[in-house]
Structures are given as structure tokens and as C-alpha cells.
């Protein structure tokens, strides 16, 4: 092959690869690090629970604080099921992706009735 034809073929191949990367982004896990420290309920604005999926092999719990910062918490901690009992949060502020409502073997209840 001649050099101009080879360069054209290389350019077309590169364009196709770049277009494919933008069409199929690989997000992976959103949480790089998690904290084991309890988060005070008074500073929580929103709770997002992301279950295991094809993009990430672990359950992720993302807490948005009132100041807008986000924090990933460890779903295996004993205090995490109590996040759903945050009294000032309505159901619109708790996002459960899919219909997943468990942290491992622990039940995650959204604003359960008080006994």
C-alpha cells in the first residue's frame, strides 16, 4: 500500500474507535474510597443506593450532604441500615436504583413506622 492510502485507512480507523468510545462510556464504580465513620443525619440531603451491576461489582451508597459534597459510605457497616430512618428525608430524597432494598443480609427500610 502507498503511504497516503495507509494514512487514510489509519485516520478512518481512529475516527471509528473514538466514536465508539463516546457511544459506550465505561463508567465503572462511582466510589473509589468509602468511609466507615457514621454520617450525622442532620447533614444528609440525599441518599443514593447503587446495587451490584455490570458496571460495578460492589454495592455503593452515596450520601449527598447539605453543603453539596458527596461521600461514599461502606454498606457493610452496622449503622448503614439506619440511614433510611433519617426523619427529615422523604422518599424523593432516597434513590434506590432498581428495586433493591437490602444491604447484604440487612434490611434497608425507608422511613419505617415508629413503634
41-107 adopts what CATH topology? Answer: OB fold (Dihydrolipoamide Acetyltransferase, E2P) (2.40.50)
Higher pLDDT, 104 or 42: 42
Residue 114: is its pLDDT beyond 60? Answer: no
Q: CA 35, 112, 65 angle in degrees (round to 5)?
A: 35
Q: Give the per-residue pLDDT at 82.
A: 74
Dist CA 3 CA 26 (whole Å): 34
Averaged pLDDT for residues 61-75:
91
CA-based nearest residue to 104, from 77, 82, 73: 77
Cβ count within 10 A of residue 53: 15
Dist CA 112 CA 53 (whole Å): 27
Residue 111: is its pLDDT beyond 50? Answer: no
Q: Which pLDDT band holds residue 86 (cuts at 50, 70, 90)?
A: low
Residue 101: is its pLDDT beyond 90? Answer: no
Q: Give the per-residue pLDDT at 73.
A: 92
Backbone angles phi and psi of 48, in degrees to 5: -125, 125
Summarised one tens digit per residue, pLDDT across range 5-30 is 877 777 777 766 655 554 455 568 88
Dist CA 83 CA 81 (whole Å): 5
Dist CA 18 CA 93 (whole Å): 37
Domain regions of the chain by residue span:
41-107
Residue 81: is its pLDDT beyond 60? Answer: yes
Where do the H-state alpha helices sit in the chain?
Answer: 3-23
Amino acid at each position: 500500500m502507498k503511504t497516503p492510502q495507509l494514512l487514510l485507512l489509519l485516520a478512518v480507523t481512529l475516527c471509528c474507535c473514538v466514536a465508539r468510545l463516546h457511544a459506550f462510556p465505561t463508567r465503572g464504580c462511582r466510589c473509589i474510597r468509602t468511609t466507615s465513620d457514621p454520617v450525622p443525619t442532620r447533614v444528609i440531603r440525599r441518599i443514593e443506593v447503587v446495587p451490584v451491576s455490570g458496571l460495578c461489582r460492589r454495592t455503593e451508597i452515596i450520601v449527598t450532604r447539605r453543603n453539596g459534597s458527596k461521600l461514599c459510605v461502606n454498606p457493610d457497616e452496622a449503622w448503614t441500615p439506619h440511614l433510611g430512618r433519617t426523619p427529615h428525608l422523604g422518599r424523593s430524597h432516597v434513590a434506590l436504583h432498581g428495586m433493591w432494598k437490602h444491604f447484604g443480609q440487612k434490611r434497608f427500610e425507608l422511613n419505617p413506622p415508629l413503634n
